[in-house]
Amino acid sequence: MKVWIEWNYKSPKNPEILLTSEIMPATEALRISDDFEKTGRVKEIFFYDEQHTKWNKKELIRLLKEVETEPHDIVAYFDGGFDLQTNKAGLGTAIYYTQNNRDYRVRANEVFNELETNNEAEYAAFWFMLLTLEEIGVKNIGVEFKGDSQVVLNQLSGEWPCFEDTLNKWLDRIEEKMKHLGIHPTYSPIGRKLNGESDKLATQALEGTVVSSKIEINGK
Please tell me whether residues 34 and 122 are part of one structural domain. no
Give the end of a domain, one of 67, 92, 116.
67
Q: How far is the C-alpha of 145 from the C-alpha of 109, rounded, in Å?
A: 16
Q: How far is the C-alpha of 34 from the C-alpha of 187, rounded, in Å?
A: 32
Please tell me whether residues 130 and 179 are part of one structural domain. yes
Of 154, 136, 137, 162, nearest to 145 by C-alpha is 154
Give the end of a domain, one of 30, 50, 67.
67
- Which residues does the chain have with pLDDT short of 70? 14, 219-220
Please tell me whether residues 124 and 37 are part of one structural domain. no
Please tell me whether residues 26 and 98 are part of one structural domain. no
Residue 171: DSSP 8-state? H
Task: State the total domains in the chain.
Answer: 2
The answer to whether 39 and 31 have CB atoms below 8 angstroms apart is no
Looking at residue 186, what is its pLDDT?
93
- Domain residues for the domain of 51 are 2-67
> How far, rounded to the nearest angstrom, does the alpha carbon of residue 82 sit from its chain's CA centroid?
24
Please tell me whether residues 32 and 7 are part of one structural domain. yes
Of 133, 129, 91, 97, nearest to 110 by C-alpha is 91
Please tell me whether residues 36 and 110 are part of one structural domain. no
Please tell me whether residues 101 and 142 are part of one structural domain. yes
CATH number where 165 lies: 3.30.420.10
Please tell me whether residues 25 and 90 are part of one structural domain. no
Q: What is the pLDDT of residues 48-75, one digit of tens each?
A: 988 789 999 999 998 888 778 899 999 9
Question: Which pTM value belongs to this model?
Answer: 0.81
Please tell me whether residues 115 and 190 are part of one structural domain. yes
Looking at residue 219, what is its pLDDT?
53
Looking at residue 50, what is its pLDDT?
82
Please tell me whether residues 91 and 200 are part of one structural domain. yes
Please tell me whether residues 61 and 147 are part of one structural domain. no
Please tell me whether residues 45 and 81 are part of one structural domain. no
Q: What angle do CA 75, 77, 79 make, to 5 degrees?
A: 170
CB-based burial label for 161 (10 Å; 0-12, 13-18, 19+)? exposed
